[in-house]
Amino acid sequence: MRCKKCQEKAVIGLPRHNAAFCKGCFNEYVHDQVARAIKAQRMFGQKDRILVAVSGGKDSLALWDILLKLGYQADALHVDLGIPGYSATSREKVERFADAVAASRQAKLIIHVVKQEEGAGIQELANLVNRPTCSTCGTIKRYQFNRAAVERSYDVMATGHNLDDEAARLLGNVLHWQVDYLEKQGPVLPASVEGFARKVKPLYRLAEREVAAYAVLNRIDYIVEECPMAKGSKMLLYKEVLNHLESESPGTKQAFYWGFLDRQTETRPTAGSMAEKDQASLHPCTVCGQPTTADVCTYCKMMARAQAASPR
Rounded Cα distance between 55 and 295, Å, is 31
CA angle 29, 221, 89 (to 5 degrees): 140
Complex with its own copies: residue 34 or 171, whichever CB lies closer: 171
Q: In the bound complex, what is the minimum distance in angstroms from residue 169's beta carbon to its own copies?
A: 14
Does the footprint of its own copies cover residue 240 (CB under 8 A)? yes
- Collapse the DSSP code of 303 into the 3-class scheme (helix H, G, I; strand E, B; otherwise coil) and give the result: helix
Q: In the bound complex, what is the minimum distance in angstroms from residue 186's beta carbon to its own copies?
A: 15
Does the footprint of its own copies cover residue 180 (CB under 8 A)? no
Which of 42, 47, 85, 177 forms a contact with its own copies (CB under 8 A)?
177
Piece of 107-115, 139-147, 203-211, 237-245 that binds its own copies (CB under 8 A): 237-245
- Which amino acid is residue 229, in one-letter code? M
Rounded Cα distance between 64 and 221, Å, is 13
Which of 244, 272, 286, 309 forms a contact with its own copies (CB under 8 A)?
244
Q: In the bound complex, what is the minimum distance in angstroms from residue 262's beta carbon to its own copies?
A: 8
**How many residues belong to the site for its own copies (CB under 8 A)?**
20
Which of 39, 259, 268, 309 forms a contact with its own copies (CB under 8 A)?
259
Does the footprint of its own copies cover residue 262 (CB under 8 A)? yes
Which of 179, 219, 308, 311 forms a contact with its own copies (CB under 8 A)?
179
Which of 40, 255, 294, 304 forms a contact with its own copies (CB under 8 A)?
255
Burial class of residue 259 in the structure, from the number of CB atoms within 10 Å of its CB (0-12 exposed, 13-18 middle, 19+ buried): exposed
- Which amino acid is residue 60, in one-letter code? S
Rounded Cα distance between 34 and 201, Å, is 9
φ, ψ at 188 (rounded to 5°): -135, 125
Which of 6, 40, 100, 237 forms a contact with its own copies (CB under 8 A)?
237
Q: In the bound complex, what is the minimum distance in angstroms from residue 267's beta carbon to its own copies?
A: 9
Complex with its own copies: residue 32 or 240, whichever CB lies closer: 240
Strand residue runs (E) in 220-296: 283-284, 291-292
Are the C-beta atoms of residues 81 and 137 closer than 8 Å to each other? yes
Complex with its own copies: residue 45 or 132, whichever CB lies closer: 132
Are the C-beta atoms of residues 193 and 292 closer than 8 Å to each other? no
**Beta-strand pair 73-80/156-158:** unpaired
What's the sign of the alpha-carbon dihedral 64, 90, 163, 173?
A: negative
The full DSSP string for 149-171 is HHHTT-SEEE----HHHHHHHHH
Does the footprint of its own copies cover residue 279 (CB under 8 A)? no
Complex with its own copies: residue 217 or 245, whichever CB lies closer: 245
Binding-site ranges for its own copies (CB under 8 A): 174-177, 179, 234, 237, 240-241, 244-245, 248-249, 252, 255-256, 259-260, 262-263
